[in-house]
Structure 1
Amino acid sequence: MAIVDPTGNFTYRQLLRDVQTLRYRLSPDGMDLNEARVAFLCPNGYEYVVAQWAIWAAGGIAVPLSTLHPVQELQYFLEDAQATVLLFHPDHAATVEALPANLQARLQLMDVQQSIALASTTAAVPRDLHLSGHRRALIIYTSGTTGKPKGVVSSHCGVQNQVDCLVQAWQWSSHDRIHHALPLHHVHGVINALNCGLASGATVEFASRFRAEDVWRRWIDGPQDLTLFMGVPAMYAKLAQAYDRMPKATQVQASKACRQFRLMVSGSSALPSPLYHRWRDISGHTLLERYGMTETGMVLSNPALDASQRREGSVGYPLPGVQVCLMDDQGQTILPKPDQPGELLVKGGNLFREYWSRPEATRKAFTADGWFKTGDSACQATNGSWRILGRNSQDILKSGGYKISALDIERELLAHPLIRDVAVVGAPDQVLGQQVAAVVQVLPEHCSTVTSLSLEAWCQPRLARYQTPRRFKILTTDIPRNAMGKVSKKAMVEHFFM
């Protein structure tokens, strides 16, 4: 069994047959699409996989679109990628119809379900194309938390390298069955969860969307045959909150159901310390934290086999075939010393090929000797494991001559028993350069208890004076995050502290 989704079960035989069918619809004469950009808008499920593989089989570049994005953003991605074809699931026909008429006229619009069902059964199966591994395969757009989203182009070799290193490091096999509830327009969902599973002959069981109560229901009431789950911290937080609302007897069942998994992975944003410990209490699992980017795939990972070697706040060690080092403030490549921060640099076959149609941005992303500049500040511990201090552009604050990690401050604030979520940002300050500020979410019943003064008092024994936020914005509603659980801190500053 390859795919299980809310509509049914699909074998590898059926998947390969339908991929050939859709490939024929994309290129009836069997000719190479020659890297034409083919965008596809499909929910998590079988048709998504058929679309992705058929585009590759036909020699096109796959451009996955998010079903969560508004029409205006989809228009930007389609125009920026210069897509010539848009495959769509009938559930999203209304979204396609809402695209500007001039854009629709430039695209070949294809209903993916109809295209599979209506393909001629008498047509000759086109010959396999022998594509160079250096050909472009995939364009995934960055999340846009620090600027306009850029199209990250990966080659077939790049995708293969990303998959191979994770299959090896996380011990994937054909006996695995992953419960997949991640969005399918980011590396986390596309590579780590989907294509690693299929490359291993495993079964990928899709949830149509993430809803904590539904996930728990599947784990508790469904067959106890799941082996992997991957999520972002916000998903684990919602699962923990749903667990807390359960009757005691159901909580016992829920904790027992977590034993079916051999591995649970967290990534795409920093895992808060309280959640790290809370999830271990609930499930018995020490979450495997890892680090990667759209441009690099996964770079660092904690050990998969020995949970006792995973460390809170650590993202582990370089994955097979990946090299890392640091760059100092003068732009010099340096060998890491314990706890010495610097910008993380990466080399390896996992790296992206280019930013689509942005040669200057591509050039600036690499050092002269070929290291990719991640833009993330990191340091290495004495045991060789790595810790991410934050994104240089939004998580490393420069205040009064100090370089401050926003993530370190967030970890301390999240240990407060009445705080549910937090985002630490740098507010403009004429004297300090940036002033440490925090957007804090508390439960409505505690809004009168949690004040700026009480939060300063909480920080006093835990943080240095220069790390302690000088301004607080206290909310009783959720802090806005994107589908991968990331906050646009630039938007936070503009909205709350300008």
Structure 2
Amino acid sequence: MSTLFPDLTRVPAPDRPALRFGDRSLTYAELAAASGAVADRVRDARRVAVWATPALETAVGVVGVLLAGVAAVPLNPKSGDRELGHVLRDSAPEVVLAAPGDELPGALAGIERYDVDVCAHGRIPDVHRGPSAPALVVYTSGTTGPPKGAVIPRRALVATLDGLADAWQWTGDDVLVHGLPLFHVHGLVLGILGPLRRGGAVRHLGRFSTEGVARELNGGATMLFGVPTMYHRIAEALPAEPELVKGLTGARLLVSGSAALPVHDHERIATATGRRVVERYGMTETLMNTSVRADGEARAGTVGVPLPGVELRLVEEDGAPVTSYDGETVGEVQVRGENLFTEYLNRPDATAAAFTADGWFRTGDMAVREGDGYVRIVGRKATDLIKSGGYKIGAGEIENALLEHPGVREAAVTGEADPDLGERIVAWVVPGDAHDPPGLDELAGHVARRLAPHKRPRVLRYLDALPRNDMGKIMKRALGGDVDG
């Protein structure tokens, strides 16, 4: 029987709410029956693809696959033909699950389809899988080549979700509201599987809106999960939406992840509601590594401390551990623990390259650490580490400083070659007023006063909007060309 979702197998309160998507919902007893039917259907498969729309069928399908002890492969419905074809060839699923009526692309035509019936009545099979058995195959974004399938074992789900339960004081009494996509670990693992492991409830908005957040938080929900883009929209809407202020004020926990939440959005929300947003840090290959604790200080700009069972260290470029936790010394984050993936599917070369000889995973993220253990991510090694004038500078802290300027609506920071400095800092800014944007001297002085003079931008370029992916992350590789203001 399942050790991932104890309340599905014992169902202590059959009428207890489990899932709600819009006006469609399932109790724990109904979820057990519907997911049991899926489990019985796919139990002989090795891998099962799930057409991961933000719908009740996706949640039931993934839960059913996990109950069968099989690996689920969530598919992004917005994937292009080329990317989707690669994922299907690489993962070779025997079955694809979808909602009745979903129109699937031609790339899935040769795979047996099974429509998830959320009203079905099935029994959860008596299947036992070890902790290292694959639970999910989640594909990375593919920014440096074709997407790689991270094989996430069952133990990683347990380690992350139980670690977060400890950090967030997460219980079966919590009701989570979110509007995240369900093809990645934030929306699916944390947002769907997390509440179900605790015996709590999920209310998915289908499509994010501040009105939906206000309605659910004022209607009994206790927690909100979102990404910075969502919290930015919340911060913008607060002055005109008193019901939103009320809902956030009464929430037990507000969590942001997938990218850094700008400090000015932290402060606007805290000022209006008295509630601080908690940030956590994770990635596909590691699930969750750190978080600000519910009983700790919600320090804006940090991602808190390592979760129980997670080892974390910072290393220099030569692999030597960073020993100075002074909030300034930048190093690459490496992690080790039960939360890690086991391999990149069909990529032993990439798997070997991702780990050190002593078993630490190289995240590629750059961070500093405070004396009390708090971690602050300053960017990606590949795109956000700027070496200028002998200093190692993280782009993230400069971006946060720029966003504190009243004339800046959006900001990104990159480096470009400089014959004197090695690299010079380039600020890409979407001004609040395109007809009266802040100038380079003004913004450089603003950054220098908040951080240090060597962190000030040397070049300023204006944009109408920053390029972002589905999760709201800035796609820095798309920044380039002559767009000087």
Paired position in structure 2 for 1:435: 424
Q: Name the counterpart of 2:279.
A: 289
Q: 2:459 aligns with which of 466, 471, 478?
A: 471
Q: Which range moves more in the overlay, 314-323 or 74-83?
A: 74-83
Distance 1:354 1:277 in 2: 40
Paired residue for 1:104, among 109, 115, 118? Answer: 109
Is the aligned partner of 1:230 residue 2:225? yes
With the length of structure 1 as denominator, give the TM-score of the two structures.
0.87
Superposed CA deviations along residues 408-436 of structure 1, whole A, max 9, x for unmatched, are 11011101102111111123445544332
Shift of 1:456: 3.7
Q: How big is the shift at 1:164?
A: 1.4
Query: Out of 204, 208, 211, which is 1:210 matched to?
Result: 208
Counterpart selection for 1:357 from 327, 343, 346: 346
Distance 1:461 1:263 in 2: 33
Q: CA deviation at 1:437?
A: 1.1
Residue number in structure 1 paired with 2:29: 13
Match in the other structure for 2:302: 314
Deviation at 1:243, TM superposition (A): 2.5
Residue type at the aligned position of 1:57: L
Q: Which amino acid aligns with 2:429?
A: V
Whether contact under 8 Å (2:163, 2:309) holds in the other structure is yes
Shift of 1:218: 4.1
| Aligned equivalents of 1:2, 1:313: Cα separation in 2 | 33
Query: Residue 396 of structure 2 aligns with which residue?
Result: 407
Equivalent residue for 2:186, pick from 164, 185, 188: 188
| 2:299 pairs with 1:301 | no
State the match for 1:200 in structure 2.
198
Q: Which residue of 2 aligns with 1:490?
A: 477
Aligned residues: 467
Matched letter for residue 186 of structure 1: H
Mapped to 1, the partners of 2:34 and 2:21 lie a distance apart of 16
Cα contact 1:437–1:471 (8 A) shared by 2 = yes
d(CA) in 2 for partners of 1:67 and 1:421? 28
Q: Distance in 2 between matches of 1:368 and 1:437?
A: 36
| Most deviating of 465-474 and 355-364 | 465-474
TM-score, normalised to structure 2, is: 0.89
Counterpart Cα distance in 1 of 2:441 and 2:324: 39
Letter in 2 for 1:288: V
2:39 to 8, 20, 23: 23
Q: Deviations over 1:381-403 (max 9, x none)?
A: 12222222221111111234331
CA deviation string 1:193-248 (max 9, x = no partner): 2212101110111111112343334445xx2x11100111111001122224x2xx
Q: 1:17/1:413 Cα in 2 relative to 1: closer, same or farther (>3 Å)? A: same
- Cα pair distance change 1:473/1:76, threshold 3 Å: farther
- Matched with 2:7 is none
Match of 2:72 among 62, 68, 71: 62
Kindly provide the CA deviation profile for residues 21-50 of structure 1, in whole angstroms up to 9, marking residues without a partner as x: 1223335xxxx32xx221111322321121
Structure 1 pair 405–57 and aligned structure 2 pair: CA distance change class (3 A): same
Correspondences of 1:38-53 after superposition (within 5 Å): 38-53=48-63
- 3-state SS of paired residue (1:18): helix
Determine helix, strand or coil for the equivalent of 1:487.
coil
Find the aligned partners of 1:425 and 1:144 in 2 and give their Cα distance. Answer: 20
List runs of 5+ in structure 2 lacking aligned partners.
Answer: 1-16
Equivalent position of 1:240 in the other structure: 235
Residues 150-193 of structure 1 show CA distances to partners (whole Å, capped at 9, x for unaligned) of 21111111211111111222111121100021121222112222
Q: Deviations over 1:309-350 (max 9, x none)?
A: 222222211111111122222112354533332211111111
Aligned to 1:391: 380
CA distance in 2, matches of 1:488, 1:357: 27
RMSD after superposition? 2.4
Gaps of 5+ in 1: none
Alignment correspondent of 1:337: 325
Q: Which amino acid letter does the alignment assign opposite residue 104 of structure 1?
A: A
**1:264 offset after TM fit, Å?**
0.6
User: Which whole-Å CA distance do the structure 2 matches of 1:241 and 1:359 have between them?
Assistant: 46
User: Per the alignment, do residues 351 and 460 of structure 1 end up closer, same or farther by CA in structure 2, a change over 3 Å counting?
Assistant: closer
Shift of 1:18: 0.7
Cα distance in 1 for residues equivalent to 2:350 and 2:115: 35
1:82, 1:426 → 2: CA distance? 40
